[in-house]
């Protein structure tokens, strides 16, 4: 069994000193001011033990990592009928691209690109006021993380509402194809608020346990989703969780992972661990530069990989 505590501290130390940290997301104004010198890491193992290092307690904007929880919520509401409105294929395009939508009649390639996440928000909004829909998602995440202190950063939500012109275009374009049931501003409101949820690495790793535990909330805990659904969400994270860098992430890390432009990544070693990393500097595909590197180091040191003979590593 690898010494996870030692690995966590060594990786955090290396990343804290790393000179090349990438560029923080500046298209969402409040994110442009986040200190790129920060790095946080938290691993929760299948026995429920938590190992944290660096800025693991610092809340950050989870951005697109929220798409995992929103997808889980939408599948709980409409089940497999969701797949009539959104695909399950990697896009090979940037997260905010519009190019495929025209050719594919307003059906987004997958639920993790922005267009797909907007459809998921539209599903979660059905039958609710927007603030009730977002409240439901927030409560779900608090339940998963066992932490009632998780909140939405209203400054970030407002900034996205004021500057999210690409998302506004995507929503309206899908509306024109009949793939948005609500008025675009309502669906966008839900989407922007879910992206603006702030969480620490510790909270995010805790919230990700159900994907490591075959759908159980915690070791020996209640069932959140079926084992099949957990496997399928992990499959989508692996194939689509890093947009046009999903292949590179699978090659380097070998675990299902979902990134966000706030610099966070949630990665899952099924049956082994839920891992949250955060470093605000991004690579050219909008994924955390040091977060990816840290996960590569962790996968190497632990042997955790969905491609290793034992399924998820040697430890």
Catalogue the active-site residues. 64, 67, 191, 243, 261
The one among 195, 199, 253, 298 contacting ligand DON by CB under 6 A: 195
Q: How far apart are CA 244 and CA 157, in angstroms?
A: 25
Q: Which is nearer to ligand DON, 169 or 301 (CB)?
A: 169
Q: Give Rg (Cα) of the chain.
A: 18
Nearest distance in Å: CB 152, ligand DON: 13
Q: Do the Cβ atoms of 300 and 292 come closer than 8 Å?
A: no
Does residue number 283 form part of the binding site for ligand DON (CB under 6 A)? Answer: no
Q: Which of 73, 114 has the CB closer to ligand DON? A: 114
In DSSP terms, 42 is beta-bridged to 52, 276
Binding of ligand DON by 96 (CB under 6 A):
yes
Q: Does 287 bind ligand DON (CB under 6 A)?
A: yes
Which segment (41-49, 244-252, 258-266, 306-314) binds ligand DON by CB under 6 A?
258-266
Residues in 58-87 that interact with ligand DON by CB under 6 A: 63-64
User: Interface with ligand DON includes 279 (CB under 6 A)?
Assistant: no
Residues 57, 203: Cα–Cα separation, whole Å: 8
Strand bridging mode 197-199 / 60-61: antiparallel
Residue 97 contacts ligand DON per CB under 6 A: no
N- to C-terminal Cα distance for the chain?
A: 5
d(CA 8, CA 40): 10
Instruction: Yes or no: say if 193 and 135 are a contact pair by the CB < 8 Å rule.
Output: no
List, in sequence order, every residue forming a beta bridge with 282; answer none if it has no partner.
23, 288
Query: Tokens 């693991």 identify what position?
Result: 56
Window 123-162: contact mask with ligand DON (x via CB under 6 A): -------------------------------------x--
- Give the span between the Cα atoms of 116 and 134, in whole angstroms: 17
Q: Among the candidate windows 10-18, 147-155, 199-207, 257-265, which touches ligand DON by CB under 6 A?
A: 257-265
Site map (CB under 6 A) of ligand DON, residues 226-255, x = contact: ------------------------------
């Amino acid at each position: 069994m690898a010494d996870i505590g030692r690995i966590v501290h060594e990786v955090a130390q290396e990343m804290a000193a790393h000179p090349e940290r990438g560029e923080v997301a500046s298209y969402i104004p409040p994110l442009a001011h986040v200190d790129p010198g920060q790095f946080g890491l938290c691993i929760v193992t299948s026995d429920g033990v938590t190992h944290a290092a660096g800025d693991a307690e610092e809340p950050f904007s989870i951005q697109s990592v929220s798409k995992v929880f929103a997808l889980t919520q939408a599948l709980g509401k409409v089940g497999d009928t969701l797949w009539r409105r959104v695909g399950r294929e990697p896009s090979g395009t940037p997260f905010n691209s519009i190019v495929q939508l025209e050719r594919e009649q307003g059906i987004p390639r997958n639920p993790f690109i922005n267009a797909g996440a907007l459809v998921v928000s539209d599903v979660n909004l059905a039958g609710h006021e927007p603030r009730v829909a977002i409240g439901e998602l927030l409560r779900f995440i608090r339940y998963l993380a066992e932490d009632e202190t998780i909140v939405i950063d209203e400054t970030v939500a407002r900034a996205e509402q004021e500057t999210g012109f690409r998302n506004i275009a995507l929503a309206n374009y899908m509306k024109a194809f009949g793939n948005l049931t609500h008025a675009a501003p309502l669906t966008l409101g839900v989407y922007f608020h879910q992206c603006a949820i702030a969480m620490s690495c510790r909270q995010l790793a805790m919230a990700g346990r159900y994907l490591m535990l075959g759908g159980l909330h915690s070791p020996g805990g209640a069932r959140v989703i079926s084992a099949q659904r957990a496997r399928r969400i992990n499959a989508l994270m692996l194939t689509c969780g890093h947009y046009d860098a999903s292949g590179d992430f699978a090659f380097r890390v070998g675990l299902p992972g979902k990134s966000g432009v706030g610099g966070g990544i949630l990665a899952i070693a099924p049956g082994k661990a839920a891992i949250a990393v955060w470093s605000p500097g991004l690579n050219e595909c909008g994924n955390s530069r040091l977060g990816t590197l840290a996960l590569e180091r962790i996968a190497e040191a632990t042997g955790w990989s969905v491609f290793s003979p034992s399924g998820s590593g040697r430890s």
